[in-house]
Copies of this chain bind each other. A is one copy, B any other.
Amino acid sequence: MATKRVTLREVAELAGVNPSTVSRALSPFSRHLVNPETLRRVQAAALELDYAPNRVASSLRTGRSHSIGVVIPDLTNPLFPPVVRGISDGLASAGYTALVTNTDRNVENERTMLETLLERQVDGLIMASAATDDELVAIGLDRGVPVVLVNRMVDDHRILAVLSDDWHGMNEAVGHLASLGHRSIGHVAGPLGIATGVLRRQAFFDAMATHGLDVPDRAVVVASTFTESGGTAAARELLRSFLACTAIVAANDLIALGCYAAAAELGRSCPDDLSVVGFNDMPFADKFCPPLTTVRIPAYEMGVRAARLLIDRLQDGSVPVGPVLLPTRIVVRGSVARAEAPLPAYRHRSAAT
């Protein structure tokens, strides 16, 4: 049943040449040193036998596997599928294949998967795993395998990174709210153990400062996870203590969804009694109730860029200094309304709770 695979030797025999000639003829880089007539014969033989090279053997011989390990924290997070597609497409166009692994946001898992990838001799790593801890990033590096980070960064400058320009996106978000009269704006941050959580929180402070707005302590609450329930809990706390709050910028869309829920619990409707802005523009964010105003980040493009960056690194070592920032922009939908000046009814209800 398991048909014996055709090898170079058999092609060589059929073509009446030495295996090494076949090897040369079939490789684009050495093809030019073989006689056109021989080339033709070899190609005909290869076609005839339906020859397919054994990349495993080739990898062993050359020391390059033409495969790249891709480490994703959670593939079911809607942010990542487009990133992975971008990576795959970017790699494929250079003859590389992605080995995609899911760590489930579990450090032990991640370590295991990294070992597996390294044992399989990946030529490089693209990591979207988001722990701020960089111990695991080092393990690739220690073995001389180049690493590109997506959607996170690390101080070590040997490590390339592709990021969305969250500073710009956050600035647009705050600007949009400010332009509609919001002054008391809150932020539900993501977990501070994750790079994105830290980054966006800082970007929020910066953006508020840029717009001359004050950020009282109680205006920022950190969610325990990047999930709807994490967002609900944090937003509940925020809304209860920051009574003047008329708008929230959430660290991602899932948390924004949690803000919807918390607002509803407290008898406030979005966008009339509370404006909400998300982050990521995940698929179907436009289908929520209300459709979510959010900051779009170029997920697919980030994947493509990460792939290219890694390949450049692999091929000639030319690398940009510092992280590559990709543009973000706000997408206006229905979850933001003009700020009403005072909100007596709401204050009353809140106080009663």
Chain A interface (Cβ < 8 Å from any Cβ of B): 1-3, 5, 52-57, 59-60, 65, 67, 75-76, 78, 80-82, 84-85, 88-89, 97-102, 115-116, 118-121, 142-145, 257, 283-284, 287-289
Contact = CB atoms under 8 A, between A and B. Distances in A.
Contacts of A52: 115, 118-119
A126 to B, nearest CB: 13
Contacts of A80: 81
A3 B141 CA distance: 9
Contacts of A85: 75-76, 102
Residue in A5, A99, A100, A142 with the greatest tally of chain B CB atoms within 10 Å:
A100
Nearest to A113: B92
Nearest to A118: B52
Nearest to A1: B144
A97 B76 contact: no
A22 B43 CA distance: 42
A258 to B, nearest CB: 11
A5 B65 CA distance: 14
12 contacts: A2-B144, A3-B144, A53-B119, A54-B119, A60-B60, A75-B81, A76-B82, A85-B102, A97-B99, A97-B101, A98-B99, A287-B289
B121 A55 contact: yes
Contact of A287 (B2, B81, B119, B284): B284
